[in-house]
Amino acid sequence: MPSRSYNEELNFLEKIDSHCWRIKKGFVPNMNVEGRFYVNGHLEKLMLDELKQSCGNSHKGGFLPGVKQIGNVAALPGIVGYSIGLPDLHSGYGFAIGNMAAFDMNDPEAVVSPGGVGFDINCGVRLLRTNLDVKDVAPVKEQLAQAMFDHIPVGVGSKGIIPMGARDLEEALEMGMDWSLREGYAWAEDKEHCEEYGRMLQANPSRVSARAKKRGLPQLGTLGAGNHYAEIQVVDEIYDMHAAKKMGVDRKGQICLMIHCGSRGLGHQVATDALVMMEKAMKRDKIDVNDRQLACARINSKEGQDYLNSMACAANYAWVNRSSMTFLCRQAFAKQFNTTPDDLDMHVIYDVSHNIAKVEQHMVDGKEKTLLVHRKGSTRAFPPHHPLIPVDYQMTGQPVLIGGTMGTCSYVLTGTEKGMAETYGSTCHGAGRAWSRAKSRRNLDYQQVLNKLTEKGISIRVASPKLVMEEAPESYKDVTDVVETCHAAGISKKAIKLKPIAVIKG
């Protein structure tokens, strides 16, 4: 297809309202549905500038611009509604990160694509509350940060301290948080406040390769590196007191704890293994895609089902991982304050997944359909009264945890009916990268990044200081921009703003 000028590309994009654009059919070949993306003025400029820079480039290396990736996903077989880009969208493998799409389970042609889930399967965020105030923590902040750093194994290739043999791993992959509960690493209430109650039932450990298991075995209960972190946070603003009180947050200055991590090497290997098998399935079933990174298989094919079974195992592993780190954080706090986690009221507010594909019921053109919803770099955000959210949140909607970048604020949102109708109950997941990791390393000095955090009064413990440039706030879009866009578009609603006072990183 001959390359078009930027102005020609713009003919296929139309601004619907102040926060939503449509991508018309024809923007890329073979689109089955239109695209939609949500932005505000500043994020719109970033999206369109990326497209402008790509015009005239042959794209032999690197990823396509995010808006083109939304278009390519719209060309996948069996997609319904729209291919949707959320405000934190940035280029990724196959699907852009922040691109979600739903596929009709009753369409024999419909596909599942590992690129629509991501390599870090069930990378997600968990938020715990405490009954502590900032005045309780401030005098011992450094000691508490050190205690957490000592308790949680962090960094590339870090090894866990939760005892685990091969049989334990098999059980954890199948049982998810039920394994953590049985082994004493989780509280019964933790499961209630977790997406899928911390266990995907279609998990089948026999579908996970020996190599994936070998990578996962030593890493359980570890934070890893990259954008993963554990943060001690303080409540900075409460926008919706009714929703906040349901979450056990009732005042500014209250201390919370946020854990952001995923399925480590096991999830990465599950995705890699599936991509190899799906390339073969595509040839056999004659599935054509616009971008070979969108390798996929029919949902009901052996390859499709094997992937969904192994992906569920990786998702369960990630929930066990976050549960293990919750256990370690509770121990660190209890030790520092010479009391028990229970007396500190260290309950899980909620645990959300960012990279996952799930079978859900949604309305499409006025009819209820069973869909396979791919959420890559996006968060489930179900509205009030939805049967799949906990009793505690039936009146407020599901809590949605939006982790900020290192040293910037994080948010808790709630799901809305409008989000359910427009984005299949999905919203943003974080800030979204603005610079590549390589550009961040070239342009930033790690000591300056650390000094800036210290100036803001943030204690930091980091296993790989020379990697902190990749996660510096300058490397990302502004998380407040992203959240305000989702709030203004009505696809989720602001409830709480949190700011970090201590960061533990890989």
3-state per-residue secondary structure call for 382-433: CCCCCCCCCHHHCCCCCEEEEECCCCCCEEEEEECHHHHHHHCCEECCECCE
User: Does the pLDDT value for residue 56 go beyond 90?
Assistant: no
3-class SS at 379?
strand
Q: Is the dihedral of CA 227, 232, 234, 240 positive or negative?
A: positive
3-class SS at 92?
coil
CA distance 448 to 469: 9
Find, among 113, 99, 104, the residue nearest to 81 by Cα: 104
**Residue 335 is encoded by which pair of tokens?**
């030790």
The mean pLDDT of 447-456, rounded to a whole number, is 89
379-429 residue pLDDT tens: 999 999 999 999 999 999 999 999 998 889 999 999 999 999 999 999 999
> How many H-runs (helices) and E-runs (strands) does the chain carry?
16, 19
Residue type, 92: G
The mean pLDDT of 302-322, rounded to a whole number, is 98
* Structure confidence at residue 59 (pLDDT): 54
Residue type, 234: V
pLDDT band (50, 70, 90) for residue 93 = very high
Please state, rounded to an integer, the average pLDDT across all residues of the chain: 95
* % of the chain surpassing 70 pLDDT: 98
429 tagged catalytic: yes
Write down the residue that tokens 């200081």 correspond to: 465
Catalytic residue among 19, 193, 268, 429: 429
* Structure confidence at residue 163 (pLDDT): 87
User: Does the pLDDT value for residue 2 go beyond 70?
Assistant: no
99, 223 contact by CB (below 8 A): no
The CA-based angle 54-33-353, given to 5 degrees, is 80
User: Does the pLDDT value for residue 121 go beyond 90?
Assistant: yes
User: Does the pLDDT value for residue 343 go beyond 70?
Assistant: yes
**Residue 490 is encoded by which pair of tokens?**
């009505």
The mean pLDDT of 155-173, rounded to a whole number, is 89
263, 356 contact by CB (below 8 A): no
User: Does the pLDDT value for residue 79 go beyond 90?
Assistant: yes
Strand 379-380 relative to strand 426-427: parallel, antiparallel, unpaired? antiparallel
CA distance 121 to 265: 10
Q: Which of 120-124, 149-153, 171-175, 410-414 has the lowest mean pLDDT?
A: 149-153
CA distance 99 to 330: 34
* Structure confidence at residue 319 (pLDDT): 98
* Structure confidence at residue 16 (pLDDT): 97
pLDDT band (50, 70, 90) for residue 60 = low
User: Does the pLDDT value for residue 224 go beyond 90?
Assistant: no
CA distance 192 to 177: 10
* Structure confidence at residue 328 (pLDDT): 96
- 71 φ, ψ (degrees, to nearest 5): -60, -45
pLDDT band (50, 70, 90) for residue 435 = confident
6, 52 contact by CB (below 8 A): yes
89, 432 contact by CB (below 8 A): yes
**Residue 99 is encoded by which pair of tokens?**
């691109």
The mean pLDDT of 334-345, rounded to a whole number, is 97
User: Does the pLDDT value for residue 64 go beyond 70?
Assistant: yes
CA distance 317 to 221: 10
* Structure confidence at residue 61 (pLDDT): 60
Distance in Å from the first CA to the final CA of the chain: 43
pLDDT band (50, 70, 90) for residue 1 = low
* Structure confidence at residue 58 (pLDDT): 57
pLDDT band (50, 70, 90) for residue 256 = very high
Q: Which of 173-182, 307-316, 450-459 has the lowest mean pLDDT?
A: 450-459
Q: Is the dihedral of CA 297, 112, 228, 49 positive or negative?
A: positive
* Structure confidence at residue 169 (pLDDT): 97
CA distance 6 to 369: 38
* Structure confidence at residue 107 (pLDDT): 98
